[in-house]
Chains A and B, each alone.
Chain A
Amino acid sequence: MALPSSLNRYLLLMAQEHLEFRLPEIKSLLSLFGGQFTSSQETYGKSPFWILSIPSEDIARNLMKRTVCAKSIFELWGHGKSPEELYSSLKNYPVEKMAPFLHSDSTYKIKILTFNKTLTQEEKVKRIDALEFLPFEGKVNLKKPQHIFSVLEDYGLDPNCIPENPHNIYFGRWIADGQRELIQSYSVKKRHFIGNTSMDAGLSLIMANHGKVKENDIVFDPFVGTGGLLIASAHFGAYVYGTDIDYNTVHGLGKASRKNQKWRGPDENIRANLRQYGLEKYYLDVLVSDASKPSWRKGTYFDVIITDPPYGIRESTRRTGSQKEIPKGIEKCPESHVPVSLSYHLSDMFFDLLNFAAETLILGGRLVYWLPVYTPEYTEEMVPWHPCLKLISNCEQKLSSHTSRRLITMEKVKEFENRDQYSHLLSDHFLPYQGHNSFREKYFSGITKRIAKEEKSSQE
């Protein structure tokens, strides 16, 4: 498919982690800024080099102000599978497009970036010299140039098999870097208030991007825990709500999750976490509440629902109900008494979550959540379905040899009517996931089988 000539081509240099999550992130962000994802490449797979068309440089810059999956973006001036192809491609790039960045009053520098290979300084200089044919009229300034140009050489992905010559060479004008440094700034290691299952900072930011969280949105997390997802959302300018069934977590009480710490300190609660990052103004409220019995009035007022529901492994899946049994390990605190310890069957939980999202999201709003999966039995049909929600993406992250979790993003495309509440029962999607009610058993099944095997072999 030929690319429209009015669109400019850009080269995205991607980070090599969370591979499956990258394309949905870029697509979601482009759609947030009014661009649409157009590319001549069929798929990107594992490669860190993505060529795509973006209508304007403004959109490209906005994209980079949000992405944690992309390291940098360049305006692509030429590329090829060999230096000759690259130079020929550069000679075909319209001079009038180059001119604004090469004129005599400007300063510039050229960087040589290589991937999966190291070059000597001499080799790099040779490559810069070979670009002399380009009409640079400005002055070289290595410290603070106005324009930075890069040659990017792709030597493949296998560190054990480095080719003599690069597979691909690109030349472009550097425009902006992505937000990967946020991963360090928001690292859970430095956060005041954490829990046993606090989400990794990079993934929280990716989730907020998949959800198209934007300034002045209201974002809600029904299983908020210590608020990691709210932090990511607030960072992008959204105002945040959270609920959790665990009184102690919401209030910031009880046992600490840090190794050398016994009890939580006074500065450890969700509000304090936001304050730590200067995001307190985005804190709306948190409530102690059972996600299966929401207390929100009828209406659509959430822009994004973003959550990591409990899988029943490190935190129990609970809901209020009518059994007297209280699980072991819940600290005794009269106000925090959770009346039930009904195991909340996972399929019910996702059914409730999807219905809740369909009811309370604004039209076009997104639901982003993790779905735990027993890999040997997983099929796409198992992803929970709802007539009002369209599946946007489904990205896998492995947890163990036989389990993984999938980040599911859905968008509300139809207003909720009462009868939609039960339509899932008519769907084929409902029955297959029922098997995952025993996710907890299956998660541990590998271990129990191995223990049984070891016992058996030690007896022989």
Chain B
Amino acid sequence: MKLLTHNLLSSHVRGVGTRGFPLRLQATEVRINPVEFNPDFVARMIPKVEWAALLEAADTLHLVEVPKEPIQGYEQDETFLRKMHHVLLEVDVLEGTLQCPESGRLFPISRGIPNMLLTDEETKT
């Protein structure tokens, strides 16, 4: 699971609503996966990023050189874009969990794939 994805995911446990974001990340296995740098794509993603959530996740994974916020004229700043590219797309959580900040419910990540399915009890109306 990439950090870009983590930034877009929220808990959907009943009753949690917007308090389900961001999910608390815990990782037991992380891999750095080189991905071809595409500045245009990265620049497009910047406005969509929730920075506080990104910084929290990056911190949990002990990542360094993570920009604290989008800088002026980021679209042309290759250094900035390369750092964001690395954080958003090259850090892959293979094993770990995502925790709902409101209910505490854990969603497992295995083989890089998060499992967001809820059980019978959790979906009872």
Partner of A216, one of B38, B113, B118, B123: B38
The docked-state distance in angstroms from the alpha carbon of A288 to that of B111 is: 12
- In the assembled complex, how far is the CB of residue A36 from the closest CB belonging to chain B, in whole angstroms? 26
The docked-state distance in angstroms from the alpha carbon of A281 to that of B121 is: 38
Is A239's beta carbon under 8 Å from chain B? yes
Number of interface residues of B (CB under 8 A): 38
The docked-state distance in angstroms from the alpha carbon of A243 to that of B114 is: 10
Partner of A297, one of B4, B10, B89, B113: B10
Number of interface residues of A (CB under 8 A): 34
In the complex the two chains form, is B113's CB within 8 Å of A285's CB? yes
- In the assembled complex, how far is the CB of residue B27 from the closest CB belonging to chain A, in whole angstroms? 14
| Max count, chain B CB within 10 A of own CB: residue among A215, A284, A285, A322 | A285
Residues on A with C-beta less than 8 A from B4 are 284
The docked-state distance in angstroms from the alpha carbon of A293 to that of B120 is: 13
Is B32's beta carbon under 8 Å from chain A? no
- In the assembled complex, how far is the CB of residue B58 from the closest CB belonging to chain A, in whole angstroms? 17
Segment at the B interface, from A136-144, A332-340, A393-401: A332-340
In the complex the two chains form, is B2's CB within 8 Å of A247's CB? no
- In the assembled complex, how far is the CB of residue B98 from the closest CB belonging to chain A, in whole angstroms? 9
Q: Of all chain A residues, which has the CB nearest B35?
A: A281
Is B61's beta carbon under 8 Å from chain A? no
In the complex the two chains form, is B18's CB within 8 Å of A289's CB? no
Is B1's beta carbon under 8 Å from chain A? yes
Mark interface residues in B21-53 (1 if CB within 8 Å of A CB, else 0).
Answer: 110000000000001101011001000101000
In the complex the two chains form, is A247's CB within 8 Å of B115's CB? yes
Residues on B with C-beta less than 8 A from A281 are 35-36, 38
Residues on A with C-beta less than 8 A from B89 are 284
The docked-state distance in angstroms from the alpha carbon of A251 to that of B110 is: 9
Partner of A320, one of B111, B114, B117: B117
In the complex the two chains form, is B21's CB within 8 Å of A297's CB? yes
20 A-B residue pairings within 8 Å (CB atoms): A247-B115, A251-B113, A284-B4, A284-B5, A284-B89, A285-B2, A285-B112, A286-B113, A287-B9, A287-B113, A288-B113, A288-B115, A289-B115, A289-B117, A290-B118, A293-B12, A298-B21, A301-B8, A322-B124, A339-B120
By a beta-carbon cutoff of 8 Å, the part of chain A in contact with chain B is 215-216, 239, 241, 243, 245, 247, 250-251, 281, 284-290, 293-299, 301, 320-324, 335, 338-340
By a beta-carbon cutoff of 8 Å, the part of chain B in contact with chain A is 1-2, 4-5, 8-12, 18, 20-22, 35-36, 38, 40-41, 44, 48, 50, 89, 108, 110-121, 123-125
